[in-house]
Structure 1
Amino acid sequence: MSLLEVENLTKKFGGLTAVDNLSFGVEEGEILGVIGPNGAGKSTVFNCVMSRYDVTSGTITFNGDDITDTSTHKIVNKGLSRVSQESDPIDIFPVAGNIRLFTLPNSLLSLYGGADMEEIASYAARVDLQDKLEETPDELPHADVRRLEIAKALATEPELMLLDEPFAGMNQQEIRKLSEQIESLREEGMTMIVVDHNMSGLMQLVDRVVVIHNGAKLAEGTPDEIAENEDVQDAYLSGEEI
């Protein structure tokens, strides 16, 4: 059984079907890429997996447990974490304080307890932020803010991390650096699903790709197989090379 299995997932908003009978799995230790044009349903899938949205039909299984109707905080406690497309650090707290919030038990309303500075520094070091623990997010360059979002997710000690547009707004050098850091997380045993529009960065990083078009799965395969798939080129890339 896959670490995460999405089976026949459908999500409707009124008369709009955002995700249409979608099935895929991710194996332990794998980096899975999910691609598709704007509006294809990629972020909706992540929202369904994390129970931000109620599922219209279908099942989501993690580590053998059905989590389809499980609350978000219980899903995080089971070992699933998401890095959102939008960065949302709390600017009144330094980097260390932002990371510490995600080590508090179950509720961000409590400001007591959580990880000590050594533990916080270890999460930051996994994305090369250990020297910026006292800086506030608004003092950081964009790429470091995105890395802070990953450090916050790491602080929940996930087995599987969902990365939504991690490379957004980055230049090629920053993308290469973050890709190396993501690969190092995999070497530590992390499993990841990555959604991104930067095709060159994503295709070099992932082991396998799922292509979504109009909410349904259009294709699945290795990066090379997807790059050569004419249906994918027609639907997503308009004939451009991946």
Structure 2
Amino acid sequence: MSLLEVDSLTKKFGGLVAVDDFSMDVERGEIVGLIGPNGSGKSTVFNCIMGIYNVTDGTVRFGGDEITDDATHEVVNKGLSRVSQESNPIDSMSVAGNIKLFTLPDSIVSLRGGATEEEIYEYAARIDIEDDLHEMPDELPHADVRRLEIAKALATEPEMMLLDEPFAGMNQAEISELAAQIDRFREEGMTMVVVDHNMGGLMNLVDRVVVLNNGVKLASGEPEEIAENQEVQEAYLAGEGI
């Protein structure tokens, strides 16, 4: 049984069909790339999986349980976490404080409990920002702000992570470094889906690639196969390549 099963997922916003009859399975221990031109529906798929959007049609299962209609906190409690496309740390709290927030009980009024300092250090160390714990988010370089988003997701102790544009705004050296860190998560047993609008940092990272175009699954296969796929190249700016 696949860890994540997305079956015939459809999401409509009024008359607009943002995702149309999309299916995707992810096996335990895999890294799957979900790519497509801007506006192709990638983030919408993530929002549907995470319970942020109500699903118009289709089903989502995680670990064999249907989570289609679950609230976001219920999805997270079952072991699925998402790294957002936008970095949104709380600037008035330190890096450590931002990470700790994601370890607190569900109650919004509860600021007691949560992870110990040692546990927060471990989450930060997994993504190499343990030396920044006492910094404020606005003091960090961009790449470390993105790493903070990943540390926050790690703090929920997920079995699987959905990473939405983790490489956004990074230079090639930073992309290579983060890709190596993500690969390390896989060695630790993490399953991941990584959204990116081009193959840049993904080509050597992912096991398989699924391509969305205008909300419809265009292709799926190994990275090399997808990179050479004519339909995929045409979807990306009339054959300029990926």
TM-score bin, normalised by smaller chain: over 0.9
Q: Give the distance between the partners of 1:107 and 1:141, measured in 2 at CA.
A: 32
In the alignment, what sits opposite 2:131? 131
Confirm or deny that 1:84 pairs with 2:79.
Answer: no
Q: Give the distance between the partners of 1:12 and 1:129, measured in 2 at CA.
A: 39
CA shift digits 1:168-224 (9 cap, x unpaired): 000011001100100001100000000012422111211100000110100000001
CA shift digits 1:36-59 (9 cap, x unpaired): 111100000000000100000000
In the alignment, what sits opposite 1:233? 233
In the alignment, what sits opposite 1:35? 35
CA shift digits 1:149-172 (9 cap, x unpaired): 000000000001000000000001
In the alignment, what sits opposite 1:181? 181
The runs of 4+ residues in structure 1 deviating greater than 4 Å are none
In the alignment, what sits opposite 2:196? 196
What SS is found at the alignment partner of 2:218?
A: strand
What SS is found at the alignment partner of 2:82?
A: strand
Q: Give the letter aligned to residue 211 of structure 1.
A: V
Q: Give the distance between the partners of 2:57 and 2:206, measured in 1 at CA.
A: 28
How far is the alpha carbon of 1:108 from its aligned partner?
A: 4.2
Q: Give the distance between the partners of 1:198 and 1:37, measured in 2 at CA.
A: 8
CA shift digits 1:56-95 (9 cap, x unpaired): 0000000000000011101100000000000000011100
Alpha carbons 1:3, 1:27 under 8 Å: kept: yes
Alpha carbons 1:167, 1:198 under 8 Å: kept: no
Q: Report the TM-score when normalising by structure 2.
A: 0.98
Two-structure CA RMSD over aligned residues (Å): 0.9
Gaps of 5+ in 1: none
Alpha carbons 2:35, 2:198 under 8 Å: kept: no
Q: Give the distance between the partners of 2:238 and 2:119, measured in 1 at CA.
A: 47
Confirm or deny that 1:206 pairs with 2:193.
Answer: no
Alpha carbons 2:51, 2:70 under 8 Å: kept: yes
Q: Give the distance between the partners of 1:168 and 1:11, measured in 2 at CA.
A: 25
Q: Report the TM-score when normalising by structure 1.
A: 0.98
In the alignment, what sits opposite 1:4? 4
